[in-house]
Copies of this chain bind each other. A is one copy, B any other.
Amino acid sequence: MPYVTVKMLEGRTEEQKRALVAEVTEAVSRTVNAPQENITVFIEEMSKNHYGVAGIRMSDK
């Protein structure tokens, strides 16, 4: 605890994802005062045809 899910478009590099998990964990640990070993991060990627704002999918723009 806490459990963090980051949902974003696919395409980030492994290096970006590695840094994302590390730095989000630090930010959560620092602000809610939880030990880093108790923090879990999940990354969920979506493709552009499965994500739309204002009724239009990213893949249709």
Give a binary string over A1-36; 1 marks a CB under 8 Å from any B CB, 0 the rest. Answer: 111111111001010111111111111101111101
Query: Taking the full assembly, how many copies of this chain does it contain?
Result: 6
Q: A52-B41, A54-B37 are in contact. Are A24 and B21 (CB under 8 A)?
A: no
**Chain B residues within 8 Å of A60, by CB:** 18
Q: How far is the CA of A36 from the CA of B42 in the complex (A)?
A: 20
CA distance A56 to B19 in the complex (A): 9
Contact A50 B39 (CB under 8 A): no
Q: How far is the CA of A8 from the CA of B26 in the complex (A)?
A: 15
Q: How far is the CA of A55 from the CA of B14 in the complex (A)?
A: 14
Give which listed residue, B9, B27, B40, B56, contacts A53 with CB less than 8 A.
B40
